[in-house]
Amino acid sequence: MANFEKTFIMIKPDAVRDRKSGLIIDRIERCGLTIERMEKCELNTELVEQHYAHLADKPFFGDLVSFMTSGPVIKMIVSGLDAVAKMRTLMGATNPLDAAPGTIRGDFAHDVNENVIHGSDCLDNAQIEIERFFGQA
């Protein structure tokens, strides 16, 4: 049975820089999800380090923080039936080389380190990330 859910989605600096944001937003809306809140902003190092703390011991962590603070992002609260799973499918695999054509990463991303979009992987993380990036929502 489908459940009404909210999830956190972020269009990353590479997609904003390459003017892919509108195409990505269109795909989100065309699949029946609603963008409840959306804001373009630049992230500070502290927030990015907190968000990616689970990757802090990885060799690419510094590059990830630099990338995520390199330009504006578009952060969103997206809602709808089974929003988390629907967005995970729409985004495609984290590595664009593994992402199917027709997915956001399959069509727009070129590198696993700059893969155009982030989406919460479960409802618990969606709530944490919504609070992290928007405060109480």
Query: Is 110 designated active site?
Result: no
CATH, residue 74: 3.30.70.141
Examine the pLDDT at 14 and tell me if it is beyond 80: yes
Examine the pLDDT at 136 and tell me if it is beyond 90: no
Domain that holds residue 111: 4-134
Residues in CB range of 104: below 8 A, 6 or more apart? 24, 27, 90, 91, 92, 116, 117
Considering 51, 54, 110, 118, which one is annotated as catalytic?
118
Q: Count Cβ atoms within 10 A of the Cβ of residue 134 and give its class: 0-12 exposed, 13-18 middle, 19 or more buried.
A: middle
Q: What is the pLDDT of residue 1?
A: 72
Instruction: Give the pLDDT confidence of 46-73 residue by residue, as tens digits.
Output: 999 999 999 999 999 999 999 999 999 9
Instruction: Give the pLDDT confidence of 76-132 residue by residue, as tens digits.
Output: 999 999 999 999 999 999 999 999 999 999 999 999 989 999 999 999 999 999 999
CA distance 14 to 84: 23
Domain total in the chain: 1
Q: What is the pLDDT of residue 2?
A: 79
